[in-house]
Structure 1
């Protein structure tokens, strides 16, 4: 506004020629303001549609909200929202926008297209619950008090009560939709249903005062008055006894009876209506490319072969003279690689990895996030089916980023890939990429919470290869662990496409993994079932990593002695999550400008 007032003042003092220039500038300025407001409005609208995402970002305005995403009304509302913004975007010409705004326009258009594409399928509505990815697990995390939902004030507790009431509506709708799914052929594979049943059994049968969702009452802040504690205890007891626990019981009974009986025998998404079309949409969504399943499958086979040859070198280095497959078993079962007896020892080991690499980080990164970072054990209620993961910190930095690691049995925890795992899930992987994006004041808010797996997971996998530059991988088993994690992502290209387009069974995919990597069988089973539950997501890691590697090699070749790895990493990270095509265009422009 101050710019407009200044322009008007100057306009009054100018000649005709000068006035024309200023009038043109004012029109551009107005366009600039209108476009930026569009981005702001889009972000606000998305947060209202997805209030749990707002909570994760530390935006507490929607902490009492939980929309029934399974209702016809919600589907219509979201379709109208994204269609409306696509139409609004079309009114802005690129020539009137800055370079940054042009990228925001392209990204917003992509975001709308992906959302509308996802909504065109029935999967999310008729198969709303699985063993790993769905919103019921997020709500369990929130209830535990260890995640993003705050429990510090009486208002926080009231917000959670309101959210629970709405979540109960969603649970009841989920059961109805899953019954509809049985009739229309949208049902999970039977092997996945078996993993969901125990999750709901715990919620259905645990006594009130030991219940996960009773945690907030067991941990009431000391500064609450006696009357406040009494009222909240009564309210939480009532909603759990009258609504949530009965809903959990109903879902548990349904899952172990009608739903289990209807479970699919096939493993791939091509076993449901429009499964083939859905998988191609998922490829585009998760890789942000136009690659076909066959192309990805062949790429995976080539990467598996390449990494196997590198693994052979490590096997020879440690003096193991049997086959590589036997070496996998040796690594899996080597008790020397299972040195711990308590979860705390495992957490301490990750912290020691962080301390060892700290002195080297400045050589590779000019910017470091301000958001704090901690390591936690994955909560018990979801630990059996969970993988290691990162949860973002809040925008204001008051809630740290969290690296969660599942430790079902500390005595059987194998450490051979811990260095690579820390680089990927924590630093400089997800914690750097996500926190730097959230802290970047030059980005519009809607881009600070976007997540494109090809970029985000591609970056995290790329950072695993930085271990030697960061003073890690001196132990050949840890380097083998890095190769193992890269192999794990290469295998995903083969088994994910195999399961969903080539008729591979769950068992065939498990065996292929056992033959080509050293992960424990239980972990491999969990991983294969993860791919079955979320088709295409597993493809994003390797596709993104290979693109970033390709761009680094190109920059290094073309810039020669001018190449600065800190600058390259800055260029990759500064724009946040974007489709790979945009990232490649950005780096190519940086190279030409640098030259």
Structure 2
């Protein structure tokens, strides 16, 4: 074997080879990262496409018209199995991707997606298909909104009109399955409280009429586009007359008759979800789902009580500031009843007052936000057909710009519309609350679609409630009564932590929860009752607001303390909003990383 003597040239060559080796390793790592990121991107794309086929109403909501004629029967075992297979398949696939090889943004997407798949699979183990109706969220309500022409379902072309007829057929099948499932629920001890069944009955009954043209589903026929030919108009009128008479009205009637004759007598007398078989476990899941945390019901209840105490003391200060001599409860009454707080005569005046709020805070918005939405924004009066049971709400813009973001305001009688709290309501539902957060999420380039159109109540509602706390920084709340309105809205969300857990985990009755609301906030008995029954219908959802807001306030405080002079409020807000909604634990990690980057800059 020939002996090698290492010359200087050879040493240099070896040394260079070593460097090349390191470079190769780095290149390999980069290649691996690129491949993993591409795999991840493809995975997200495939998932979103497959999901829309199973959830076509979600496609309609984002102005994707491909499935506008479809309404799958999501109450069946078959549909549940398809959905389960979808989640399991993509959970397996994402587990096969090396998270550590991904960039920061991809890691966030990875974490959100994995969390989503795991929670969705756990959700399929819950008995929600046995409780398909309530007075707050259910397909009979959604169908009426879609069929009215004022919702997401478009009615612009003859094909659009034909599409909705397909959904009507699907709804008929769904209605029969809902009845079958509720019978199974009755046998298994999984049934609505009696008070909620009583609330559903008039909603169903309102759709049972003799004349098809007297239903909400006739509105698109009444408003046929001028561009349609006479033959097209005639054909649509005939098809809708038949579909409403033979499918829509009979489906609502069957649901009403069943609920009234069979379901109501068997409905339970208990208030909370713990009153059904397996209800305690179900509530623990719902708490996790809505708060995106591992907090226990007891921990949330305790936080709620602390917040109620803190906000009450703030309310007392405002009462003293305006010189009111009575108790806090009497002050609530005064603010509810004094005519000076109901200055409006027409709905137009109410809407104009909201637009003035937007104009007043416009100059300050640039100091608090570096990025703002491109989407158009409007304030509209809620349609008459749903105004009586509707809350003020935000409807997101269509991503293609065909529909603006809309802040809907229900105005039943303008002369009774109370101005107290208008500023905080606008901050929450409109700007910079839901409009900024949802529009920026949808507009952000490079975000996977599952994130662009995602919703986590703890983040989305948490942000909107946090936005209410920005009023003074935005030049609002100069009137102590508007600030009192802000405190009342915050109190409303704090009360939710107490009453939701109280009813669903601690044996509170509906009446106890209503009384707790009346004792601690600016509300009427009618409004408090409607709210409490909403929490009965969708357990856990009401927890998301305050839990999310408290997390965002804590993150801001941490950033201010750690960054000192380097803290920028607009940069902090931009960082919260960039990337859209996510579980709170993922948000916390994201903000911690941002704080570290700011320290180094």
**Shared fold (TM-score, shorter chain, > 0.5):** yes
Task: Please give the alpha-carbon distance, in whole angstroms, between the structure 1 residues aligned to 2:26 and 2:540.
Answer: 51
Distance 1:364 1:24 in 2: 39
**Distance in 2 of aligned mates of 1:171 and 1:431:** 34
Alpha-carbon distance in structure 1 between the residues aligned to 2:186 and 2:382: 33
Say whether 1:116 aligns with 2:101.
no
- How big is the shift at 1:135? 2.5
Which among 153, 162, 166 is matched to residue 162 of structure 1? 166
Q: Match for 2:251 among 243, 247, 270?
A: 247
Moved more, 300-309 or 466-475: 466-475
Distance 1:556 1:149, change over 3 A: same
1:391 aligns with 2:395: yes
SS class of match (2:71): coil
CA-CA distance at 1:492 after TM superposition: 0.3
Q: Deviations over 1:531-550 (max 9, x none)?
A: 00000010010111011001
Greater shift after overlay, 535-544 or 90-99? 90-99
Deviates more, 1:476-485 or 1:147-156: 147-156
496-505 or 324-333: bigger deviation: 324-333
| 1:489 is the counterpart of 2:489 | no
Distance across 2 between alignment mates of 1:445 and 1:471 = 36
1:205 and 1:249 in contact (8 A); partners too: no
Aligned pairs (5 A) from 1:570-585: 570-585=574-589
Equivalent-residue separation in structure 1 for 2:306 and 2:327 (angstroms): 20
Q: Secondary structure at the match of 2:350?
A: helix
Residues 1:341 and 2:369 are matched in the alignment: no
Q: CA deviation at 1:28?
A: 3.6
Larger mean CA deviation between 139-148 and 76-85 belongs to 139-148
Q: When the two structures are superposed, what TM-score results if normalisation uses the length of structure 1?
A: 0.95
d(CA) in 2 for partners of 1:86, 1:281: 19
Which residue of 40, 43, 46 maps to 1:41? 46
Query: Contact 1:137/1:382 (CA < 8 Å) preserved in 2?
Result: no
Say whether 1:85 aligns with 2:82: no
Q: How many residues align?
A: 581
Q: Which residue matches 2:328? A: 324
- After superposition, residues 268-307 of structure 1 pair within 5 angstroms as 268-307=272-311
* C-alpha distance in structure 2 between counterparts of 1:20 and 1:96, whole Å: 13
* Matched-pair contact (CA < 8 Å) for 1:420–1:464: yes
1:214 to 215, 218, 223: 218
- Equivalent position of 2:57 in the other structure: 52
Deviation per residue, 1:123-182 (Å, 9 max, x gap): x21111111122322221111211211111111111111122112211221122122222
Give, in whole Å, the separation in 2 of the partners of 1:19 and 1:462. 49
> How big is the shift at 1:118?
1.3
CA distance in 1, matches of 2:422, 2:126: 38
Mean Cα deviation higher: 484-493 or 376-385: 376-385
One of 199, 204, 210 as aligned partner of 1:200: 204
Summarize deviations over 1:38-85 as a string: whole Å, max 9, x none: 011111122222111111112112211111000110010011110111
Query: What's the offset of the Cα at 1:346?
Result: 1.8
**2:164 matched to 1:135?**
no
1:556 corresponds to 2:546: no
User: What is the distance in 2 between the residues matched to 1:366 and 1:18?
Assistant: 39
Determine the structure 2 residue equivalent to 1:465: 469
The structural deviation recorded for 1:21 is 5.8
Deviations 1:319-358 (A, max 9, x none): 1011111111111212211222333322222122112211
CA distance in 2, matches of 1:342, 1:530: 29
Structure-2 separation of matches of 1:343 and 1:372? 22
> Which deviates more, 488-497 or 324-333?
324-333
Q: Deviations over 1:494-539 (max 9, x none)?
A: 0000000111111110000000001222211111111000000100
Structure 2 contact 301–502 (Cα < 8 Å) conserved: yes
- Confirm or deny: 8 A CA contact 2:471 2:477 kept in the other structure: yes
In structure 2, what is the Cα distance between the partners aligned to 1:262 and 1:539?
Answer: 29
Aligned in 2, Cα 1:26/1:561: closer, same or farther, shift over 3 Å? closer
Q: 1:178 to 1:540 in 2, by over 3 A?
A: same
Task: Give me the TM-score of the superposition, normalised by structure 2.
Answer: 0.94
- Write the distance in 1 (CA, Å) between the matches of 2:27 and 2:598: 33
Cα gap change, 1:304 to 1:219, in 2 (>3 Å): same
Cα distance in 2 for residues equivalent to 1:18 and 1:589: 28
* Structure 2 unaligned residues grouped into runs of 5+: 1-19
User: SS of the residue aligned with 1:404?
Assistant: strand
Pick one of 33, 51, 74 that aligns with 2:79: 74
1:377 to 375, 381, 390: 381
The answer to which of 254-263 and 483-492 deviates more is 254-263
What CA distance in whole angstroms lies between the structure 2 residues aligned with 1:520 and 1:401? 30
> Is the Cα–Cα contact under 8 Å of residues 296 and 497 in structure 1 kept in the other structure?
yes
Give the structure with higher Rg (CA).
Answer: 2
How far has the Cα of 1:17 moved from its partner? 7.9
Instruction: Say which SS state the counterpart of residue 69 (structure 1) adopts.
Output: coil
The DSSP-based 3-state class of the residue aligned with 1:390 is strand
Partner SS state of residue 470, structure 1: coil
Which residue of structure 2 lines up, in the alignment, with residue 502 of structure 1? Answer: 506
Call closer, same or farther: CA 1:581–1:206 in 2, change over 3 Å: farther
Contact preservation (8 Å) 1:199, 1:382: no
Aligned match for 1:529, one of 516, 528, 533: 533
For the residues of structure 1 that align with 2:586 and 2:188, how far apart are their CA atoms?
A: 39
Partner-residue secondary structure (3-state), 2:260: helix
SS at match of 2:407: strand
Query: Which residue in 2 is equivalent to 1:4?
Result: none
Q: Distance in 2 between the 1:126 and 1:80 partners?
A: 21
Partner of 1:226: 230
| Structure 1: runs of 5+ lacking an equivalent | 1-14
Question: Alpha-carbon deviation of 1:189?
Answer: 1.0
